[in-house]
Chains A and B, each alone.
Chain A
Amino acid sequence: MGDSQYSFSLTTFSPSGKLVQIEHALTAVGSGQTSLGIKGFPQKFHLSDQADVKLLHRIIRPSNGVVIATEKKLPSILVDETSVQKIQLMTTNIGVVYSGMGPDSRVLVRKSRKQAQQYFRLYKEAIPVTQLVRETAAVMQEFTQSGGVRPFGVSLLIAGYDDNGPQLYQVDPSGSYFSWKASAMGKNVSNAKTFLEKRYTEDMELDDAVHTAILTLKEGFQGQISGKNIEIGIIGADRKFRVLTPAEIDDYLAEVE
């Protein structure tokens, strides 16, 4: 990657030991549209055998899952909002939302999709969420060290459901990632996180999580919130990630009023 003329890293240490390009990338994320994610917790079973736990999950089917949501503010009413989808699928059971520079997120989604398929081709098994997160984060780290490139100007919230239950990870431009019970990114991050800290409970059901997500977005929302200017993606025990239609979002909004 990068031409030989630029085979030196553009991200270098400042005298105080900071990587300023990454910090600037985080600033770019902080000026992006707000997005957030909430994870419902699996019920706790105290069993000695892991296999029994997996079997129990399949029989009892706890109605937990993960929800991710984002503002979808478009630059003009002339933009056809059906042509824009910010929440994307990485695999059938893993979805992602970003805050920051949209074009950069497309690159990451494309690379991650390919990595997921390569994993499947090799192991004939769906890629676990943690593995995909790790590989995506590795790509982001590469761009902070390789020659002639700048870091990605996005933070990602990756939501998935696999044999380890529902999972939510946040990946930053530096390539570091953490698992979250609930998180927010973008313009309104501090208010959103405070709101989530108050509202989050460990035994949240998916429907409650969607309501909480909507209320959190509403906190910092400028203008009239509707199914056309926010996007919500959910994944439950059925392991199928899906983006809600504007009509479904409007139904949830009506319930929240």
Chain B
Amino acid sequence: MSRGTGAGYDRHITIFSPEGRLYQVEYAFKAVKASGITSIGVRGKDSVCVVTQKKVPDKLLDQTSVTHLFPITKYIGLLATGITADARSLVQQARNEAAEFRFKWGYEMPVDVLAKWIADKSQIYTQHAYMRPLGIVAMILGIDEEKGPQLFKCDPAGHFFGHKATSAGLKEQEAINFLEKKMKNDPAFTYEETVQIAISALQSVLQEDFKATEIEVGVVRKEDPVFRVLSTEEIDEHLTAISERD
């Protein structure tokens, strides 16, 4: 069995290529794009909002079971873009970790601690040959007691950063360009503005107007720090507000 001389195995497991790259990690990023979905996250002054496409490939599918938005605890949400099966595995582990944290230490797991835990787990998959990296980019949102609204993004390479706004998936770069323009002067968006920026970013980048059933929206607000998935009616209100504004 040839090993690690760059003679092909560097593309199969996470060992270094001659240029010092990890091909498996790069391919994992491609898998995120291959899902065909784009997601957006925006952090406002006292709220965080994430939006993603809801593509139901078959009319016979039960739409309520198709979701990429998962509550990890009552106060923390996770939006997974990429391979749904990997997402469910990560969500299960994250829920367990957050619950154990609460039990052990007596207070809710902070958003950045959970993000770091997820990122550290992803790093292990990039260093140990027996597990492949997960094909998902995870956006974690919550309200931190001390720091306020927080939005973190964790990727298959094990990187994690806090974001003022970010995107993942097929049209990630276009969305980031759009958001950079909007967030250039460090604006402090209200809750409504945050949600509308997120939805209109998605609409602009995908160049189509959505129906309320075609997107999923998740929010946390300082005044109500519980992670909530918006109902179709609430999404409709925001969509109407956006089209009236334009």
Residues of A within 8 A of B (CB): 1-3, 5-6, 8-12, 14, 20-21, 24-31, 74-80, 82-84, 101-104, 106-107, 110, 143, 148-153
Contacts and interface: CB of A to CB of B under 8 A. Distances in A.
Interface in B85-108: none
Contact of B179 (A20, A24, A78): A78
A10 B18 contact: no
B152 A83 contact: yes
Interface string B147-174: 0000010000111011111100000000
Contact of A28 (B16, B124, B179): B16
Given A78-B179, A150-B15, A153-B16, A103 B157 contact: yes
B6 A5 contact: no
Contacts of B179: 78
Nearest to B10: A24
B241 interface: no
Interface in B125-156: 126-130, 152
B20 A103 contact: no
Given A8-B3, A84-B161, A150 B130 contact: no
B129 A2 contact: yes
Contacts of B19: 24, 27, 31
Interface string B1-38: 00111100000011111111110000000000000000
Contacts of B184: 77
A152 B158 CA distance: 13
Nearest to B14: A150
Contacts of A11: 4
B162 A78 contact: no
A77 B116 CA distance: 21
A31 B22 CA distance: 13
A12 B4 CA distance: 7
Given A2-B129, A78-B180, A79-B161, 7 more contacts: A2-B128, A9-B3, A10-B13, A12-B5, A20-B6, A84-B161, A110-B120
Closest 4 A/B residue pairs (Cβ): A83-B162, A103-B158, A27-B20, A28-B20
B123 interface: yes
B3 A80 contact: no
Interface size class of B (residues with CB under 8 A): 35 or more
B212 interface: no
B193 to A, nearest CB: 16
B128 A1 contact: yes
A148 B129 CA distance: 5
Contact of B176 (A76, A150, A153): A76
Contact of B21 (A3, A28, A79): A28
Given A11-B4, A76-B180, A79-B163, A24 B20 contact: yes
Interface in B171-208: 176, 179-180, 183-184
A187 to B, nearest CB: 12
B53 interface: no
A21 B20 CA distance: 9
Given A10-B15, A150-B15, A78 B165 contact: yes
